[in-house]
Amino acid sequence: MPKNPITIIALLIYCTIVYGQSKKPVNKESANQLTVLPNIAPPKRSSITFHLNKVNGIGPSGFMTNEIGTIDTYKNSTETELKEEFKGYPLLKNKPDNLKNVVEYFYVLDNAQFYYQNYVTGIYSKSLLIQKFKDFKIDLSDTVKLSREPLKCYISVLGGFKDNEPVYIVDADNDGDYANDVLKPLLKDTHDESLVIASSTPVSITYLYNGQIKGGTRTVFMQQSRNPKKFAMTFSFPEFRYMRFKYKGQPYMICSEGNTYLPFYTVVPDRPYFVSLNRANAIKPGQFAQIGGDNFMLSSVTDNASEITLVGSDISGFNSNQIIKTTNTKPTATTIISRQLGFKAPSIKGINVTPGSKSGTTINTNDLKGKYIFIDFWSTSCGPCIEEFAKIKEVYSKFNKKNFEIIGVADERSKDALVKILKEHHILWPNIKTDTITTQINGYEDINSYPTTYLLDPSGKIIAVDLRNEALMNKLKTLITL
């Protein structure tokens, strides 16, 4: 369950705001090519940049939809923070006047840019900016990478019933006016790629690239929510980017999907067709791609997710005539700590707050070596997380604690909610809070989607990600003798 801008209220933090710069717009299309850049951080390393092709369709991560709250959540709110945030939303003109049960949505594509530009123009206060950056786990120092000039980094949508049929309209040119846009029928339970593409709308956007403002599009597909209690719509973005390349003579494919809440970047062996990949294959900036037995850090994703840069100590295996060779020692999976499949997991430590545990008891993954460890990042406001407890309890009661342990890492959204939920569901495994001084979750602190889970083997290496429902039980049955 992603944290989204319609539902979140967070605590204030105090930092200094650093201003970014922007230049005049330019138009430049990405080509299907490799660019080698020498001596990019980390020091004495070389980097290789991939320029990916954009494709309309359902990408390797499969068909995903997002449901967010409507503008009315803010528009009609009596809360100071929500009322202030609504001031940054554009007021759309020429709305269709022949619709019933109208709902309006405002989907932010780049949270950092949106809140920053409204702060720079004086619409948002410094305290709101700091609060939102904390909500989305954005580093305030990254404002140097943002534009002080407002960008079109959002999508406006309106829906309702026309002659008892659900319809919607998208502000496709992003000019704050529906006059040039058309009503479309709102489909339901649609996963057919050809139909999804035909029913999608390309929306004009702008973004910052190499210090300059660049124009592009973002393809959005709307369909009716399955929520039976209300008329609602879900967002999906049926587009992705990819490029094929060779490393040490073997074919690979690099892909990117710029979903706002769950972006997907991966490098996999090439195949003649696209298939849905488990999200365990995803890598994030700062994490590593394993290519031909070597590790390359994903350094950056830019140009509207069309440009991906990998950093490594030796990039001579790539098929380019401009390779810069270095003599640096190559990193190996055994020396890299990263919260991704196949790598040693960052350690977790905190005070166990599960009712019934000894007061002040510390739980530490480093003390559990020799056991399989299931780490469950969950939130007290996440219904699906709490629904998973029943299955997790079955697992916890089935496997011997000499071989297996569970650690819950809880995001507590309201006072005393955590202990109340743990008591209500009779939870026995250790739980720690995310936002306390005694908790150490370095390497996991930017997790903003719940539940997120990891299964570690007895050596501390991550062997599975996001096991849900029966998947955890099935996996452990293949690993631990009962």
State pLDDT tens for residues 284-295: 888 999 999 899
Are 23 and 148 contacting, i.e. CB atoms less than 8 angstroms apart?
Answer: no
May I ask the CATH architecture of the domain 349-477? Answer: 3-Layer(aba) Sandwich (3.40)
pLDDT recorded at residue 129: 96
State pLDDT tens for residues 429-444: 999 999 889 999 999 9
- Residue 252 pLDDT grade (very low, low, confident, very high; cuts 50, 70, 90): very high
What backbone phi and psi angles, to 5 degrees, belong to 75?
A: -55, -40
What single-letter amino acid sits at 350?
G
Residue 83 has pLDDT above 60, yes or no: yes
d(CA 346, CA 339): 6
Domain-by-domain residue ranges, the chain?
Answer: 31-58+239-312, 72-236, 349-477
Q: Is the bond leading into 272 cis (omega within 30 degrees of zero)? A: no
d(CA 86, CA 70): 11
Q: What is the mean pLDDT of the chain?
A: 85
Determine which of 16-20, 154-158, 259-263, 415-419 has the lowest per-residue pLDDT on average.
16-20
- Residue 65 pLDDT grade (very low, low, confident, very high; cuts 50, 70, 90): confident
d(CA 295, CA 333): 7
pLDDT recorded at residue 448: 81
pLDDT recorded at residue 33: 56
State pLDDT tens for residues 145-180: 999 999 999 999 999 999 999 999 999 999 999 999
- What SS3 class is residue 162? strand
d(CA 308, CA 30): 11
Residue 28 has pLDDT above 90, yes or no: no
What is the token pair recorded at 425? 């569901």
Determine which of 228-232, 359-363, 445-449 has the lowest per-residue pLDDT on average.
228-232
Q: Which residues pair with 217 in a beta bridge?
A: 204
* For residues 230-245, average pLDDT: 91
Determine which of 117-131, 207-221, 225-239 has the lowest per-residue pLDDT on average.
225-239
pLDDT recorded at residue 208: 95
pLDDT recorded at residue 34: 57
d(CA 402, CA 368): 10
Residue 52: Cβ within 10 Å count = 21
pLDDT recorded at residue 482: 66
Residue 43 has pLDDT above 70, yes or no: no
Does 212 or 262 have the greater pLDDT score?
Answer: 212
pLDDT recorded at residue 322: 36
Does 378 or 321 have the greater pLDDT score?
Answer: 378
Residue 26 has pLDDT above 50, yes or no: no
* For residues 192-218, average pLDDT: 94
Contacts of 445 (CB under 8 A, 6+ apart): 137, 434
pLDDT recorded at residue 335: 62
- Residue 323 pLDDT grade (very low, low, confident, very high; cuts 50, 70, 90): very low
Residue 38 has pLDDT above 80, yes or no: no
- Residue 298 pLDDT grade (very low, low, confident, very high; cuts 50, 70, 90): very high
